[in-house]
Amino acid sequence: MSDRAFQVSRLPGFATIAIGVFLALYIPIFTLAAYSFNTNISMSSWGGFSLDWYVKAWNNDQVKDATLRSLIIALWAAVISTAVATLAALGTTRRKAFKGQTFIYVIINQPLMVPEIVTAVALLIFFAQIKVITGYQGLGYLILAHSAFCVPFAYLPIRARLEGMDLSLETAAADLYATPWRTFRHVTLPLLLPGVIAGAMLAFVISLDDVVITEFVKSGGQDTLPTYMLGQLRRQMTPEINAISTALLVLTIALLTAFFLINRQNDKN
């Protein structure tokens, strides 16, 4: 009997399948980025290198408005969802196990388990009733919808950070007659902060890229950058859309890289 542990990477054909999967995932992305520098408006031929489409996207007032709206919604959604997720993580980890804890965990992570279209339709029906009663048509609905959807994405890294924290410092603070609030403020929160930052960044990225929920909940004139791009694709695919997509891709990769680095630092600590 072999003493070597089973490894998937040693199975026949693993490398070939892995390379094929990565090519299928990334070739379309690289193609999109490359054609954002294409001189021709046609996507079927290469006319030379140019930054004109980035300049046109930068000077497009609709793109500016949609980008600003997306950033505002994503920032508010990240703040609200992270605050709620932090409280939920504290409530489910910093106490003894209790009856119904699993059910609460399922409720918190419901947006991850239910198809996004179901959540979008439910939010549409719920907010439609409120719009009729209040007459309010502002961005508040999109912010609340994105916040609700982003809570589990912020909750997971915060909960993971809490579960990996040593309780000895908090116990020592309690032994020195620190109140629960002072213990949280001066001990728990500083230790938890990397997880909170990671959760907020992940929530921001999820909100910034969301299309389905935004498309169902938004009112007229409230396009975000992803829904604006979707509308343009229905008319004509131009390298300007490629340029916007590439810029959004770079921003998302930068944020996810920072999220990865923060989580790796958490693991070291």
For the chain, give the number of residues.
269
pLDDT score of 84: 93
pLDDT of residue 1 exceeding 60, the answer is no
How much is the mean pLDDT over the chain? 84
The mean per-residue pLDDT over the stretch 56-68 comes to 87
Position 269 confidence tier, pLDDT thresholds 50, 70, 90: low
- d(CA 110, CA 148) in angstroms, rounded, equals 10
pLDDT score of 166: 74
**Neighbour count for residue 74 (Cβ, 10 Å):** 23
Domain residue limits, the chain: 51-268
Dihedral angle of Cα 44, 49, 52, 54, to the nearest 10 degrees: 90
pLDDT of residue 69 exceeding 80, the answer is yes
pLDDT score of 34: 85
- d(CA 101, CA 149) in angstroms, rounded, equals 21
pLDDT of residue 143 exceeding 90, the answer is yes
Position 251 confidence tier, pLDDT thresholds 50, 70, 90: confident
pLDDT score of 74: 94
pLDDT of residue 19 exceeding 50, the answer is yes
Straight-line distance from the first to the last Cα atom of the chain, in angstroms, rounded to the nearest whole number: 39
Q: To which H or E segment does residue 29 belong?
A: helix 14-35
Please answer whether residues 109 and 89 qualify as being in contact, where contact means their C-beta atoms are separated by less than 8 angstroms.
no
Give buried/exposed letters for 160-188 (b at 16+ CB in 10 A, else e): bbbeebeeeebeebeeeebeeeebbeebb
Token look-up 């990334």 returns 26
Phi, psi dihedral angles at 147 (to 5 degrees): -60, -45
**Which CATH number applies to 51-268: 1.10.1530.10, 3.40.50.12280, 3.40.390.10, 1.10.3720.10?**
1.10.3720.10
Q: Tell me: the pLDDT tens digits for 192-230? A: 888 898 899 889 989 988 999 999 998 888 889 888 888
Q: Tell me: the pLDDT tens digits for 81-124? A: 999 999 988 888 877 767 777 788 888 888 888 888 998 999 99
